[in-house]
């Protein structure tokens, strides 16, 4: 995604300027070529040397500095950029951009560039809520400037509320969507995609539950990939410690398997693609105690009953042209179990992985998977990041959609 992308990161004068160092570092590590521009106020919060070291490029500071080679710097940099990210974007810089002002190097580049612009505002909650600031943001969005809204929480000024700059990962996800548009790979445009992610929790009493080790990372990577490709994505998620990817058509949080079944099955008929990546509990307690169960002298014997088999129900109801993909987390007999599951549950293919292998278990950022088809055919992949696995899954899905047409 980022390899070779030419990105300008603009830093303005807010306390969140220190977070821009992490943003620049992550972009460079991912293979992007990054140039940094700092406003005079930004230099009060973080030094140019820090950004120069992280970007491995000279930092743009002064619009009237003498160039080492002949060029009009703000024009040359504006032409060079494929994307401009301003993080943090203060109310002052937002106002200047909204009114066409160019009184420093950053605002001059913003006025001159034809590249997409992404702003990550950061300011006091009352400044954020000020009608003038909101009007400026609306004006900028109307001409195509993208905004990553700030988060709510405790602010550096001591106030509580909305105004804290979005997390770096959230900014990167928003930027990735823009870069994906630049690539032009929008092969899910017009397609409705439903994805389940994470585990489920089956309550025993008000404080205890049965759960599994699923982190939701694979399902969230799939949702991110589907949005990038232009899909109208519905993500049904169990309890996870992940932020929803930007650009979703709908995000539904559930806890129990029955809640996930209801959310999925009610929306399934209208979907073109359904991916069951969630690790849904197979069983739930027959009875749930209304009060916390106290530890006594004897054992606590649980009586369990089966949960709905969501994938099997989807397979039985699968309409022509719909693509259904399931996941199988195995610890042995991967190929045999995967092929049997694909046939029995009516899936177009199963994404199987051996969770006992290093780097392929729950919670990891990588996965080593095999696509297993009902006829026993397989496609195996080496250890990849979960985002790369998601890309390969959708490559296969797009191929199947084309065959169905």
Residue 261 lies in a domain: yes
Residue 1 lies in a domain: no
SS3 category, 74: helix
Are residue 129 and residue 199 in the same domain, yes or no?
Answer: no
Residue 385 lies in a domain: yes
Given pLDDT bands bounded at 50, 70 and 90, which one contains residue 301? confident
Query: Binding residue per annotation — 282?
Result: yes
Are residue 131 and residue 195 in the same domain, yes or no?
Answer: no
Euclidean distance between CA atoms 116 and 191, whole angstroms: 25
Provide the residue range defining the domain that includes 269: 187-404
Confidence (pLDDT) at 327: 93
Query: Binding residue per annotation — 311?
Result: yes
The string of pLDDT tens digits covering residues 65-113 is 766 665 667 788 889 999 999 999 999 999 999 999 999 999 999 999 9
Integer angstrom CA distances of residue 364 from 197, 361, 383 = 15, 6, 11
Are residue 47 and residue 110 in the same domain, yes or no?
Answer: yes
Euclidean distance between CA atoms 51 and 151, whole angstroms: 24
Tokens, residue 343: 């046939």
Question: Last residue of some domain: 144, 166, 181?
Answer: 181
Q: What are phi and psi of 90, to 5 degrees?
A: -80, 165
Are residue 121 and residue 23 in the same domain, yes or no?
Answer: yes
Residue with tokens 């092969």: 187
Are residue 174 and residue 243 in the same domain, yes or no?
Answer: no
Integer angstrom CA distances of residue 270 from 179, 191, 192, 273, 386 = 29, 10, 7, 9, 27
Tokens, residue 327: 């996941």
Residue 302 lies in a domain: yes
> CA 302 from chain center: how many Å?
38
Query: Binding residue per annotation — 327?
Result: yes
CB-based contact 87:165 (threshold 8 Å): yes
Is 404 a residue whose pLDDT tops 70? no
Residue 154 lies in a domain: yes
Is 374 a residue whose pLDDT tops 60? yes
Q: What are phi and psi of 161, to 5 degrees?
A: 150, -170
Residue 16 lies in a domain: yes
Nearest Cα residue to 198 out of 236, 238, 235, 244: 238
Question: Last residue of some domain: 140, 166, 181?
Answer: 181
Residue 129 lies in a domain: yes
* DSSP conformation letters of 76-145: HHHHH-SEEEEEEE-HHHHHHHHTT---SHHHHHHHH--S-EEEEE---HHHHH-HHHHHHHHHHHHTT-
Confidence (pLDDT) at 127: 92
With residue 367 as reference, give the H or E element that holds it. strand 366-367
Residue 165 lies in a domain: yes
Are residue 192 and residue 298 in the same domain, yes or no?
Answer: yes
Q: Catalytic residue at 157?
A: yes
Number of helical H runs and strand E runs in the chain: 13, 21
How many domains does the chain contain in total? 2
Given pLDDT bands bounded at 50, 70 and 90, which one contains residue 331? low
Euclidean distance between CA atoms 328 and 370, whole angstroms: 10
The string of pLDDT tens digits covering residues 24-75 is 999 999 899 999 999 999 999 999 999 999 999 999 998 777 666 656 677 8
Question: Last residue of some domain: 148, 164, 181?
Answer: 181
Q: What CATH number does the domain containing 17 carry?
A: 3.40.50.1950
Which region holds residue 144: left if phi is over 0, alpha if psi is between -120 and 50, else beta? left
Euclidean distance between CA atoms 201 and 259, whole angstroms: 10
Tokens, residue 281: 């509990």
Euclidean distance between CA atoms 166 and 148, whole angstroms: 7
Query: Binding residue per annotation — 292?
Result: yes
SS3 category, 307: coil
37 strand-pairing partners: 10, 60
Task: Exactly one of 132, 157, 207, 316 is catalytic; name it.
Answer: 157
> Can you tell me the mean pLDDT for 237-250?
90
Are residue 256 and residue 134 in the same domain, yes or no?
Answer: no
Tokens, residue 363: 């919670």
Are residue 204 and residue 220 in the same domain, yes or no?
Answer: yes
Euclidean distance between CA atoms 244 and 230, whole angstroms: 16
Q: What CATH number does the domain containing 267 carry?
A: 3.40.50.10300
> Can you tell me the mean pLDDT for 8-13?
96
Query: Binding residue per annotation — 341?
Result: yes
Are residue 241 and residue 131 in the same domain, yes or no?
Answer: no
Are residue 242 and residue 129 in the same domain, yes or no?
Answer: no
Are residue 204 and residue 169 in the same domain, yes or no?
Answer: no
Query: Binding residue per annotation — 309?
Result: yes
Please tell me which residue, 320 or 181, carries the higher pLDDT value: 320
CB-based contact 190:271 (threshold 8 Å): no
CB-based contact 24:59 (threshold 8 Å): no
> Can you tell me the mean pLDDT for 303-322?
94
The string of pLDDT tens digits covering residues 156-203 is 877 788 989 999 988 998 898 788 777 667 889 999 999 999 999 999
Which residues, 6 or more positions from 8, have their beta carbon under 8 angstroms from its beta carbon? 34, 35, 36, 37, 77, 80, 81, 83, 84, 85, 109, 113, 115
Are residue 279 and residue 156 in the same domain, yes or no?
Answer: no
Query: Binding residue per annotation — 297?
Result: no
């Amino acid at each position: 995604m980022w390899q070779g992308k030419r990105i300008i990161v603009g830093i303005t004068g807010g306390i969140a300027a220190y977070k821009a160092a992490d943003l620049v570092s992550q972009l460079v590590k991912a293979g992007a070529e990054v140039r940094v521009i700092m406003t005079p106020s930004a230099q009060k919060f973080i030094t140019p040397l820090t950004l120069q070291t992280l970007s491995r490029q000279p930092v743009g500071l002064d619009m009237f500095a003498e160039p080492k080679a002949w060029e009009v710097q703000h024009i040359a940099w504006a032409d060079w950029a494929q994307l401009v990210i301003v993080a943090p974007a203060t109310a002052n810089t937002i106002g200047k951009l909204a009114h066409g002002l160019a009184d420093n190097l950053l605002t001059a580049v913003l006025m001159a560039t034809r590249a997409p612009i992404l702003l990550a505002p950061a300011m006091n909650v009352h400044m954020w809520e000020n009608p003038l600031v909101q009007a400026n943001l609306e004006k900028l969005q109307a001409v195509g400037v993208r905004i990553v809204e700030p988060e709510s929480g405790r602010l550096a000024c001591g106030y509580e509320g909305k105004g804290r700059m979005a997390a770096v990962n959230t900014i990167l996800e928003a930027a990735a969507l823009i870069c994906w548009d630049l690539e032009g790979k929008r092969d899910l445009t017009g397609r409705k995609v439903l994805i389940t992610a994470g585990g489920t929790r089956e309550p025993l009493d008000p404080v205890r539950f049965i759960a599994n080790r699923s982190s939701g990372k694979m399902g969230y990577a799939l949702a991110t990939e589907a949005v990038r490709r232009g899909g109208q994505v519905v993500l049904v998620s169990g309890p996870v410690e992940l932020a929803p990817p930007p650009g979703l058509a709908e995000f539904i949080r559930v806890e129990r398997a029955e809640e996930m079944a209801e959310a999925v099955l009610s929306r399934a008929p209208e979907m073109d693609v359904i991916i069951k990546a969630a690790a849904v509990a197979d069983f739930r307690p027959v009875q749930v105690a209304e009060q916390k169960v106290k530890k006594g002298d004897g054992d606590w014997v649980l009586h369990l009953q089966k949960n709905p088999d969501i994938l099997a129900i989807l397979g039985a109801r699968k309409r022509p042209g719909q693509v259904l993909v399931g996941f199988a987390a195995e610890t042995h007999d991967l190929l045999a179990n995967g092929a049997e599951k694909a046939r029995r549950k009516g899936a177009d293919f199963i994404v199987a992985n051996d969770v006992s292998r290093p780097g392929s278990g729950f919670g990891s950022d990588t996965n080593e998977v095999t696509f297993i088809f009902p006829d026993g055919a397989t496609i195996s992949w080496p250890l990849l990041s979960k985002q790369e696995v998601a890309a390969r899954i959708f490559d296969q899905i797009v191929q199947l959609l084309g065959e169905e047409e």
